[in-house]
Copies of this chain bind each other. A is one copy, B any other.
Amino acid sequence: MWSVSYFDVASTAPLHPVARQALTAALDEGWADPARLYRSGRQARMLLDAARETVAEVLGARADEISFTSSGTQAVQLGMLGALKGNRRRGGRLLHSAVEHSSVLHTAEQHLAEGGEVAVVPVDRLGRVDPAGYDPDERTALAVLQTANHEVGTLQPVAEVAERCREAGVPLLVDAAQSAGRLPVPGGWSLLTASAHKWGGPAGVGVLAVRKGVRYASPLPADERERGRVPGYVNVPAIVAAAASLRAVRAEAEQENARLHALVERIRTEVPRLVPEVEVVGDPARRLPHLVTFSCLYVDGEVLLTELDRAGFAVSSGSSCTSSTLTPSHVLAAMGVLTEGNVRVSLPHGTAEADVARFLDVLPGLVAGVRAPLGLDLPVAAVRQTLVIDALGKLCPLPVIELAKRIGEVAPGGTVAVLADDEAARFDIPAWCGMRAQEYLGEAPATDYGRDRGSAYLVKRVS
């Protein structure tokens, strides 16, 4: 695997260990055609049925409402086109927010090109729609809203919009690609879409759920697989793995969300302090736990990404699904925020605090380096936020002398961890802090810093 810190889970998540295990098992036990009547076919069918039950349970649907697609994009396309076709007697009006995934926008473009009508609901500066912006009427065949934005992490008011749609009798497609597995799926959807590789499942599996009673007419040629909604041979092993990982990540979610939320909060707080002329975008409170985006003025996002890649960080920039075309993000444009120099950090499950600290450590210098050729007169950013001084094996007063010499290397508010195993440090370091008006934060085991002995004495630079 890579020695880099992978901070782009919103593009694709590394395969969850449970998914890999389930995939390997299902390649042995579920490889046959589930439509066949012989033993291996029946076995594949049983595994498929069990996976459908699992996914239905986690997403709050009935098993017979779930069809497996080959991607989240296919789920969105089939869901939108099928609902528009099934409800075309209502009229040809389609409602969606300005910050939906490109698969929604492209399907809307095709609907428009074929004579349909499209109304785009704007968002505020935080990327959030006003529920009142959704005005489903008697001509509206479908409304679409994401649970959470894929570029800035803002959570959308799905329940309120669902209520407005319900009152108007208009079906609502909820795109849960970024939140499924992480957060409970809001109720009130008529159609629900998701993508397994975002939650640690394998590529090749999307989910399209269609509530009982919702009018749906397949836009593609007939096929008997997946309730007639998704043509083609069913990928049982991948579906089994997708279901297993969905159950696993959902079980871990509450604890892991809290941890990642704190790490993202740290990035949201620190980046504007460490980097001049930067804007953190998206809703600071109603947000995905693991995702944050900031934009650096005067910076070419692709260049900064290349620098971060060299420094060992895999992050995204620009519109998440069109970065290879280098077009500006339609999401950031709709929010009215900077569309240049943006960096999306999305943390996978299990992200280590030390990796986030290292990211905050290297980012200011990299941004400054990218900006340097421009000759701008920008405020000077603090050099670094954290410093670890290894004084293991050194006797007092050497640890205190090191601390005094180097505390200036961190920004005010930053932290120095002095690793020492001389017992005297436990008294000398707090005492030095008192004398020099620095804040002593306490003691932690040096194992937190990867050492097998000694303690870490944490000092916050105040002055």
Contacts and interface: CB of A to CB of B under 8 A. Distances in A.
A14 B38 contact: no
A23 to B, nearest CB: 8
B38 A202 contact: no
Interface residues of A, number: 68
Could you say which of A28, A223, A302, A316 has the most chain B C-beta atoms within 10 Å of its C-beta?
A223
A376 interface: no
A206 interface: yes
A38 B321 CA distance: 15
A428 interface: no
A28 B1 CA distance: 6
Contacts of A195: 233
A323 interface: yes
Given A32-B314, A204-B70, A232-B71, A39 B223 contact: no
A402 B309 CA distance: 78
Interface in A1-50: 1-2, 4, 6, 8, 11-12, 14-15, 20, 23, 27-28, 31-33, 35-41
A40 B77 contact: no
A234 B203 CA distance: 7
A107 B103 CA distance: 23
A463 interface: no
Give how many copies assemble into the complex: 2
Interface in A305-331: 305-306, 308-309, 313-316, 321-325
Interface string A86-125: 0000000000000000110011011000000000000000
A232 B40 contact: no
Nearest to A326: B37
B71 A233 contact: yes
Contacts of A77: 220-221, 231
Interface in A292-311: 302, 305-306, 308-309
Interface stretch (A51-59, A235-243, A389-397, A449-457): A235-243
A354 interface: no
20 contacts: A8-B33, A11-B33, A12-B33, A27-B202, A35-B321, A37-B302, A38-B309, A39-B314, A40-B314, A70-B204, A70-B235, A71-B233, A106-B221, A106-B222, A106-B231, A110-B220, A110-B222, A203-B235, A224-B324, A238-B238
Interface of A: 1-2, 4, 6, 8, 11-12, 14-15, 20, 23, 27-28, 31-33, 35-41, 70-74, 77, 102-103, 106-107, 109-110, 195, 197, 202-204, 206, 220-224, 231-238, 302, 305-306, 308-309, 313-316, 321-325
